[in-house]
Amino acid sequence: MSDASPGQARRQVGLLAVMGVVARLCAQMMLLVLLLLAGRFLTVELFGIFVLSSILMNFGVIQMYSGIYHFVLREPAFEQTKGTAFTLQMMFSLAFAAFILACSLGVYLLGWGDLLAQLMAFTAGMPILALIASWQEAVLLRKGDVKFYYGALICSEIAGFTVSVLMLVNGLGVWALIVNRYVASGLMAAALCWKCGLLPKPEWSRDDARKIVSFATPLYGNSALAYFTSSGADIVLGGFLTARAVGLFRMGSRTAGAAFDLFAQTFRILTWQAVGRMAREKRLSAELWTSLLVINLSIMLFVLGSLSLLSHELIAVMLGGEWMAMVPVLQILCWAKIITSADQIVSAQLAAAGHTAFLFRSRVLEAIILLVALLCTVHFGIIAVAFGMFPSALVYVLRLTHKLTRLTDTTMLAVGRAVLPGLALGAAGLLVVFGASMLLEAQGPIVTIAVTAIVGVVTYVVTAFVAMRTWTLGLLHTVSTAILPASENEPASS
């Protein structure tokens, strides 16, 4: 039994990782295809109206997956506090819905556009759906049933995508993009309710409410500031440069973001499952978060670095020659995303350890630095703005990492030494990608992309599981002991 436990743990972690990648790949690919189809069926103005109408909706949905969502994941005494926690979550979702309706009424009364007002009002129900889905998702992750989560995610996204494509083809226009979110979120909420049971009965305890709000408020502020850091560049560009510049930057940002989100969402689920369980079982350690950080940086370096190296070919195939001016922006933002990817590891660990106020102060500092950098670079064009994303990201990640080293009795030097093998693994894959792309340059973009991607992935996997087998399996075992219950791992260590 004890001899099989490490192998079983590694296989389970590997299976979860593969399912996560497949689920996010499906979601991101469907989103990309839907945006390309929308570009064919909608005018630029209509698409812009959709973007404006969905700003508050996106903000409200993001908040439903922060604060109380994280409290549910990490709270040891969840059964005693869940009634009050759900009541607070319900109050927040209804407040977001009411605020969106009020804003849509204001847009209508001010004459800023009937369609914009109608679309905004139509999005008001999304925070309520997100309330159900986020609550049940957190409950499901507490139980460790990530397989069902990924399966439900894929099915709901496919359904939303199918309905939206049918609406676009039949001339229903911009409404299809919002219905996409309703269908996907509604089915996800229904599936999670079927799996987890009924929502809890609303209750109220002043002491529990004070405890929950104290924990959740900095996280809400943190996610709000994170939303600004992801959308602030578009706002500043829109105020100083042309619509074409905004479009080029936004497309570069969305392309880099799609590749980032493909793996970031998987790491978010696995990281919070790991650190949430470790926090409840009082087993927080430097070994866990450094192992997660190493795996994250190694994969992100390879994936986003490869996207940067192949950006010319990818944009030529996907978008055509008129979009080639965005290539430098895409390349720069890919490397910025590699830095910010560390945030999902270190911030989750700090939040699980109760340092939410520190996270909020750090996010405020990041937002201030970003705003200053954007205002200083916007007059020099979109490439300068892309470079302006680096200072805030670097300061934020280093500040959080330094705090975490002090909390877990390690040093920045030790973290650097732990990360080096992972960076070397990612760099080995990148070196092969670069060499293959140079050799195949005359074969055309499609052949270059396909062959280079295959050769790069094979090199990365072979290096990880053959040349660096002991190191790789050690990392997977460290993470598995955090994700699996303590009782399943204790025999293996005895």
**Res 163 pLDDT > 90:** yes
Does the structure show a pLDDT above 70 at 257? yes
- Give exposure, 469-483, as e/b (b: 16+ Cβ within 10 Å): eeebeebbbbbbbbb
pLDDT at 135 over 70: yes
* Choice between 444 and 411, residue whose per-residue pLDDT is larger: 411
Q: Please report how many Cα atoms fall inside a 13 Å half-sphere around the Cα of residue 463, on the Cβ side.
A: 21
Residue 1 has pLDDT above 50, yes or no: no
Q: What is the pLDDT of residue 265?
A: 65
CB of 262 closer than 8 Å to CB of 21: yes
Q: Is the predicted pLDDT of residue 423 greater than 80, yes or no?
A: yes
Instruction: Determine contact, residues 137/192, Cβ cutoff 8 Å.
Output: yes
With a cut of 90, say whether residue 332 has pLDDT above it.
yes
Q: What pTM value is reported for the model? A: 0.70
CA atoms within 13 A on the CB side of 214: 8
Give residues with Cβ within 8 angstroms of 287, minimum separation 6: 478
- Inform me whether the pLDDT recorded for 296 exceeds 60: yes
pLDDT at 477: 77
Kindly tell me if the per-residue pLDDT of 228 is higher than 50.
Answer: yes
pLDDT tens for 352-399 read 777 877 888 888 898 899 999 999 998 888 899 999 999 999 999 999
* Residue that wins the pLDDT comparison between 82 and 402: 402
Instruction: Reply yes or no on whether the pLDDT at 335 is more than 90.
Output: yes
Q: What is the mean pLDDT of residues 431-435?
A: 90
pLDDT of 308 above 60 = yes
User: Contact at 8 Å (CB) between 253 and 35?
Assistant: no
pLDDT cut 90: percent of the chain above it: 17
> Could you tell me if 282 and 404 are in contact, meaning their C-beta atoms sit under 8 angstroms apart?
no
Asked if residue 296 lies in contact with residue 354, where contact means CB atoms within 8 angstroms, the answer is: no
294 in Cβ contact with 475 (< 8 Å): yes
